[in-house]
Amino acid sequence: LDFALIITYLQSGVEILALTITKATITGAIINTILNAFLIYKIALMGAVIATMISYFVVWLIITYDTNKAMNL
């Protein structure tokens, strides 16, 4: 019985993690695309670098926030 509860708990955690990663990835991709459209036009290659850095940071923030919320930290 205890083993079944552990497996159920782990499965729900994996589902939450998968949803978090999906939400973060889609949000990051949208932000990256929008920023690339503006920044590449303005400052060329450095604009792409800045857009990618910002989108990665946003992805990290979303994953960190959702993980802390799921773990009740």
Closest CA to 41 of 31, 50, 54: 50
- Cα distances (Å, whole numbers) of residue 1 to 9, 12, 13: 13, 17, 19
Please return the burial class of 4, using the count of CB atoms within 10 Å of its CB with bins 0-12, 13-18 and 19+: exposed
Task: Report which residue type is found at 25.
Answer: T
Q: How many whole angstroms separate alpha carbon 54 and alpha carbon 2?
A: 44
* pLDDT 10s digits, 1-22: 454 444 455 555 666 666 777 8
pLDDT band at 61 (very low <50, low <70, confident <90, very high): very high
**pTM of structure:** 0.75
Query: How confident is the model at residue 50, as a pLDDT?
Result: 97
